[in-house]
Structure 1
Amino acid sequence: MKLFKPLDYRTYRVSWNCVIKGPCQPPEVEAVRNDIYIEMPFVRGDPLDPVWHGLSQEAREAIASEITEHLTTLRQVPPPAQDLVASAYQNPAHDSRVSNRFFGPCTQREFHPLLRTHLPEDWIRSVLDENTETVHTKQYKTVFTHADLAPRNIMMRNGRLTAIIDWGNAGWYPEYWEYTKMHYKYFAEDWYELIERRLPCYEAGLDAERAVIARYGDDIGTPAVLHREGVTRHREGSKPAKEWLAARAGRPWTDLWSLALANLKIEA
């Protein structure tokens, strides 16, 4: 007899107080410092999105303040290096905005071209706009980022925040990335207003993201053959940095990354 139903297609409640999630991608495992399957305490509650509209204004203010406190603490963690885009342990990153593939570790000057499918820097203004050119050529502070702080990943019980879940996109990113990813899927307008009153806002970064996505879409890391205005272009997609792969080449690795690379048919 089964006591518990699966929470989703790869998250299973195995006791009254414990859930198992997996197989997990390496960046998520690194973010929570665990193994290929993540054992976590079972947190009672509901995601924020279905309960938000039933909360009082006072409760909404309290939740926004708690989120601000947690994000502020997260962003104060010293990075291993500035100008870094990578997983928690400085390995390749993963972000659903790019694709279900890995990229990096890399610098911001390598990350931004990936977002615009390697459009040359001197074409940004004419193909996209001046603001995107400014954002994609600016140097930002590196901070640790959840990168998927949507209300579905904020767990609530009795009007209080109990957990922030799903760290699959977490890693080191430019300081504006948390803000732009919070807007990746639209939620209630007052949610954004409450958060923006408490945290640094990066409207220029958000506008640049919207311009890039409007032009190229949001799955730019998947290999594809593109046809546009009579021109055919082969998009290679994203994969771990050549330097990172070279450092692993020829070694008898049996770690989590070996399994992840094998699943993607990428040779180390």
Structure 2
Amino acid sequence: MALPSWSDISDLSDDALREHCDSPNLPALATAGVNGAENHVRRIARDAVAKWPYSTEPETEAMRLARAQTDVPVPAVLRFAPDGLLVSEYVNGRPLSACWTGLSLWRKVAIVWTLRGYVRQLRSVFPPGPLFPGPVAREPQTCLGVYFTVYGAGPFATHQELADWYDHKLDVSRRVKKIPQGVPTFDRSQPLVFTHLDFKPRNILLDENNVVWLIDWGLAGFYPRHMEYAAMVGSWKVLLGHWLGYYVAGFIAGFYDRQRQFFDTISWGLTTGSLL
């Protein structure tokens, strides 16, 4: 099937565009799951990709914010429909999870150094309104991701509310004797910064010109500085091995292993005990 250009289909209504996206002849790129909900990702035009049905407006705002305030290569948002359809610029690249082993040592070092710079740029981004924990929006939203249970958490109006929620999960885990007494509480010292929160090799594309792109901004928002490292280190260990993955993730996002261990400690409260 010959794909149209985005300009050929951009005038379609939301319903007609959704019908086009549902065509079985379009190439499927991936599925992207968030909190138990599965998004479909398809290339719908030569220069456009669609993700649906669980994309959110905060995701589009995060992408726009990153493009406006940083030099990080992020696909442009082309369309967002309120029913959860996000159309963005298609990037002709391969995820690091698929191409890493075939890269030269020099290229690998260059990519890691580039990613370190990206994280620093993201942490300098200002919110579009008041600063509060969670997705990019004008008012607090439900937080999504592995550290917020399968149901999400919040909204949180302040950093203090977020920290209190995590300390409650710590207390829940203590009361059912899943962890020993004396485990430190949530680290409240780290500032809220713009965070991708899904900074995994599968969401980092290397294009044909060796430009490194960040995709899949569905979990992005303003979170304590240590959460980028905590959320990414496991996937980098899978790609690179335990010790190299640990050091590469720390080089990119800073070493916050004590804070990461907190999330491991309360894992029962975030999974089995998520409703407590």
Could you tell me how far 1:26 is from its partner in structure 2?
Answer: 3.8
1:142-221 counterparts in 2 under 5 A? 142-158=192-208, 160-185=210-235, 186-187=237-238, 188-189=240-241, 190-213=244-267, 215-216=268-269, 218=271, 221=274
What is the SS of the residue equivalent to 1:70?
Answer: helix
Q: Does 1:110 align with 2:169?
A: no
Distance 1:137 1:192 in 2: 20
2:27 paired residue number:
5
Distance 1:198 1:41 in 2: 26
1:30-109 counterparts in 2 under 5 A? 30-33=61-64, 35-36=80-81, 37-79=85-127, 80-81=129-130, 84-89=132-137, 90-92=139-141, 93-106=143-156, 107-109=158-160
Structure 1 spans left out of the alignment, 5+ residues: 224-234, 236-268
Q: Deviations over 1:138-159 (max 9, x none)?
A: 3320101000101010011358
Instruction: Determine if contact 2:195/2:220 at 8 Å carries over to the other structure.
Output: yes
Instruction: Determine if contact 1:66/1:161 at 8 Å carries over to the other structure.
Output: no
Distance 2:195 2:189 in 1: 17
Distance 1:171 1:17, change over 3 A: same
Counterpart code for 2:99: V
Q: Which moved more, 1:95-104 or 1:143-152?
A: 95-104
Length-normalised TM-score, structure 1: 0.69
1:21-32 counterparts in 2 under 5 A? 21-23=51-53, 24-32=55-63
Instruction: Determine if contact 2:133/2:223 at 8 Å carries over to the other structure.
Output: yes
Distance 1:196 1:108, change over 3 A: same
Counterpart code for 2:44: V
Distance 2:165 2:273 in 1: 8
Instruction: Determine if contact 1:156/1:163 at 8 Å carries over to the other structure.
Output: yes
Identity of aligned residues (%): 25
Instruction: Determine if contact 1:45/1:156 at 8 Å carries over to the other structure.
Output: yes
Distance 1:200 1:88 in 2: 23
Distance 2:223 2:248 in 1: 23
2:46 paired residue number:
16
Distance 1:174 1:219, change over 3 A: farther
What is the SS of the residue equivalent to 2:87?
Answer: strand
1:266 paired residue number:
none
Number of aligned residues:
219
Distance 1:97 1:161 in 2: 30
Counterpart code for 1:176: H
Could you tell me how far 1:18 is from its partner in structure 2?
Answer: 1.0
Q: Deviations over 1:45-64 (max 9, x none)?
A: 11101221222221111001
- The root-mean-square deviation of aligned C-alpha atoms, in Å, is 3.1
Q: Deviations over 1:23-77 (max 9, x none)?
A: 2134323323562322211101111012212222211110011111111110011
Distance 1:47 1:12 in 2: 15
Instruction: Determine if contact 2:170/2:266 at 8 Å carries over to the other structure.
Output: no
What is the SS of the residue equivalent to 1:29?
Answer: helix
Ranked by relative contact order (alpha carbons within 8 Å, sequence separation 6 or more), the top structure is 1
Length-normalised TM-score, structure 2: 0.67
Could you tell me how far 1:100 is from its partner in structure 2?
Answer: 4.2
Counterpart code for 1:202: Y
